[in-house]
Amino acid sequence: MEPYDACDAIDEFAAAVSAFGCLQGDLADPTTARLAHHEVEELIEERGRELLRLLFQGHLDLRARRECEQPRPTDGMVTGADGLVRPYRETGHHRELACVFGTVTVERCAWRQKGLPSVHPADRALSLPAGRHSHGLRRLAVAEAVRGSYDQAKAAIDQRCGKVLGKRQAEHLIIAAARDIDGFYRRQIPLPATADTLLVLQFDGKGIVMRPEALRPATLKAHRAARRAMRTRLAPGEKPHRKRMATLACVFDADPAPRRPHDIIAPPDGRSRERTPRPGPKASAKWLTGSVVHPPEHTVAAAFDQAEARDRHHLRTWAVLVDGARHQLDLIHAEADRRRIRVHVLLDIVHVSEYLWTAAHAFHPPGTADAEAWVAGHLITILHGQAARAAQEITAQAARARLCGAKREAIDACTGYLAGHLGQLGYDTALAAGWPIATGAIEGACRHLIGDRLDITGARWGLTGAEAILKLRALIDNDDFPEYWTHHLAREHERLYLAPDQAEYDLTT
Instruction: Report pLDDT digits (tens) over 249-305.
Output: 999 999 999 999 988 887 766 666 667 888 999 999 999 999 999 999 999 999 999
Task: Dump the DSSP string for 84-149.
Answer: -EE-EEEEEEEEEEEETTEEEEEEEEEEEETTEEEE-HHHHHHT--SSSB-HHHHHHHHHHHTTS-
What does the domain layout of the chain look like in residue ranges? 6-168+486-502, 196-227+236-448
Q: Express each pLDDT in 316-373 by its tens digit.
A: 999 999 988 899 999 999 999 999 999 999 999 999 999 999 999 999 999 898 999 9
Interatomic CA distance for residues 174 and 184, integer angstroms: 16
Contact between 244 and 207 under an 8 Å Cβ cutoff? The reply is yes
Contact between 339 and 312 under an 8 Å Cβ cutoff? The reply is no
Q: Express each pLDDT in 176-205 by its tens digit.
A: 999 999 999 999 888 889 999 999 999 999
**Percentages of the chain per state (helix, strand, coil), in multiples of 5:** 50, 15, 35
Nearest to 318 by CA among 328, 304, 297: 304
- Return the DSSP state at 213: G
pTM for this one?
0.87
Interatomic CA distance for residues 114 and 106, integer angstroms: 24
pLDDT for 1 equals: 46
pLDDT for 242 equals: 84
